[in-house]
């Protein structure tokens, strides 16, 4: 059996790490494999980088100008097809292919002409069955269930032209009639697929996983370094790209309304721009030196707060629980699926009052234990999760 993966990144970013982990697992199982990717600098014997950063910046610009997201990158796609023909895989596993790294028409026309190639496609968001949007929950737009048009979020993807109706129907034509199995990291996204034009394909749920040798209860002097009193209930939030979608405004409201004598807040993943928006009492960590330092922060906190408004299956929830820290999150996407009754709580999206009541309840009652969190985290083991991919191939 020969397996070829295609993704925008390799070894970096959430999807790139998944590709790398699956590739390493296939190496262990003596499955011949190759990964084609477009961004990052990780070099390995069984991976090939297609084009360079400048090329993809040009493709992204063309997409913005002409509004034809997903239908540029012709020469990169021809190189991808050349690599596929040369490697001659039994299986092609697609991951994130909306990093301006493929021309959908060229690639999927090739797949339709070669139905003997079995396709697996992991949906890391909702882009495959919409015209433009990886996420649509905040926009409250569900046109994709019938036909996209007059896109509410067009300006995020196209400066001048709204080609949502055309792109939707081009995708629908290209993405139907394939030898395809869809994989989703969450039950929520699997349910969304079944409402789309891709509803007739088999859908397999394979949750994302994390490295439990890194994310585990870890001792640190984080509180001491930042002058946080040991009696204060420390709330944490982690995101890479803070904004309304990730709930930055929610943390600002928590800072305003929670008793500063009882609570402290630390946010990881911000920058100089987000710092301008934050109250001075919120501790802002722009980035950690490594994952171990991130595990130290999770472990130092009493509760991880994830007020995300659009989500598939957030890794940060798993990381926090694995470090022994329970989670409270909004009821959105697949975020609640990670938590059980012993490791956290869920409140309705945008219910700030409900969120504060839940935080105060957890501080007073301490209903969740480190031991239960660590026990739950055994289900997040990356090796076990990604082995489900190799079992699926067989």
Over residues 222-277, the pLDDT tens digits come to: 999 999 998 999 999 999 889 999 999 999 999 999 999 999 999 999 999 999 99
Tokens of 16: 């790139």
- Alpha-carbon distance values, 182 to 11, 336, 352 (Å): 22, 22, 35
- Backbone φ and ψ of 212, nearest 5°: -75, -10
Mean pLDDT for the stretch of residues 306-332 = 96
Are the CB atoms for 208 and 274 separated by under 8 Å? no
Q: What is the pLDDT of residue 241?
A: 85
Give 190-230 pLDDT, tens digit per residue: 999 999 999 999 999 999 999 999 999 999 999 999 999 98
In the sheet that holds 203-205, the strands lie side by side as 47-49, 32-39, 2-9, 91-94, 118-122, 180-184, 203-205
Q: 390 burial class (0-12, 13-18, 19+ CB within 10 angstroms)?
A: middle
Rounded CA gap, 158 and 179, in Å? 31
Locate the DSSP E strands across the chain. Answer: 2-9, 32-39, 47-49, 91-94, 118-122, 180-184, 203-205, 233-238, 263-268, 282-285, 303-306, 327-331, 344-348
Question: Which pTM value belongs to this model?
Answer: 0.92
> Tell me: the pLDDT tens digits for 144-172?
999 999 999 999 999 999 999 999 999 99
User: Is residue 67 a contact partner of residue 157, using CB atoms and an 8 Å limit?
Assistant: yes
C-alpha span between 367 and 344 (Å, rounded): 9
The mean pLDDT of 275-281, rounded to a whole number, is 93
Q: Which residue in this structure is represented by tokens 């959430």?
A: 14
Tokens of 23: 């590739």
Instruction: Please state the rounded mean pLDDT for residues 30-59.
Output: 90
Contact criterion met (CB below 8 Å) for 387 and 263: no
The whole-number average pLDDT for the span 86-109 is 96
pLDDT band of 17, cuts 50, 70, 90? confident
- Would you say 382 and 210 are in contact if contact means Cβ atoms under 8 Å apart? yes
Element (H, E) at 224: helix 222-225
Task: Give the burial class of 272: count Cβ atoms within 10 A of its Cβ; 0-12 exposed, 13-18 middle, 19 or more buried.
Answer: exposed
Alpha-carbon span 330 to 348, nearest angstrom: 5
Six-digit token pair at 95?
């991951």
């Amino acid at each position: 059996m020969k397996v070829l993966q295609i993704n925008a990144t390799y070894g970096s970013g959430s999807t790139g790490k998944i590709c790398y982990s699956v590739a390493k697992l296939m190496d262990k199982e003596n499955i011949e494999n190759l990964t084609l990717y477009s961004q990052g600098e990780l070099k390995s014997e069984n991976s090939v980088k297609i084009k360079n950063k400048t090329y993809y910046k040009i493709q992204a610009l063309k997409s913005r100008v002409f509004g034809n997201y997903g239908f540029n990158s012709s020469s990169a796609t021809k190189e991808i097809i050349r690599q596929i023909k040369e490697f001659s895989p039994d299986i092609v596993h697609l991951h994130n292919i909306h990093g301006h790294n493929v021309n959908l028409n060229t690639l999927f026309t090739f797949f339709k002409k070669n139905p003997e190639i079995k396709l697996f496609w992991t949906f890391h968001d909702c882009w495959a069955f919409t015209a433009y949007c990886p996420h649509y929950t905040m926009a409250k737009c569900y046109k994709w269930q019938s036909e996209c048009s007059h896109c509410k979020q067009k300006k995020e993807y196209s400066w001048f032209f709204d080609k949502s109706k055309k792109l939707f129907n081009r995708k629908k034509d290209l993405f139907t009639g394939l030898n395809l199995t869809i994989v989703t990291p969450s039950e929520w996204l699997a349910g969304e697929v079944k409402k789309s034009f891709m509803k007739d394909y088999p859908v397999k749920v394979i949750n994302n996983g994390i490295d439990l040798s890194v994310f585990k209860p870890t001792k640190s002097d984080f509180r001491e370094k930042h002058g946080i009193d040991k009696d204060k209930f420390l709330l944490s939030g982690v995101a890479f790209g803070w904004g309304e979608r990730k709930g930055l405004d929610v943390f600002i409201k928590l800072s305003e309304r929670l008793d500063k004598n009882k609570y402290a807040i630390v946010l990881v993943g911000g920058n100089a721009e987000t710092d301008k928006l934050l109250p001075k009492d919120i501790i802002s960590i722009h980035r950690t030196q490594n994952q171990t330092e991130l595990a130290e922060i999770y472990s130092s906190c009493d509760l991880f707060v994830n007020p995300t408004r659009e989500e598939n299956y957030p890794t940060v929830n798993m990381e926090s629980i694995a470090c022994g820290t329970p989670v409270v999150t909004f009821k959105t996407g697949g975020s609640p699926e990670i938590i059980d009754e012993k490791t956290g709580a869920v409140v309705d999206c945008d219910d700030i009052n409900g969120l504060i009541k839940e935080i105060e309840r957890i501080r007073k009652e301490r209903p969740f234990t480190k031991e239960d969190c660590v026990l739950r985290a055994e289900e997040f083991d990356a090796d076990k999760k990604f082995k489900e991919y190799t079992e699926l191939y067989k």
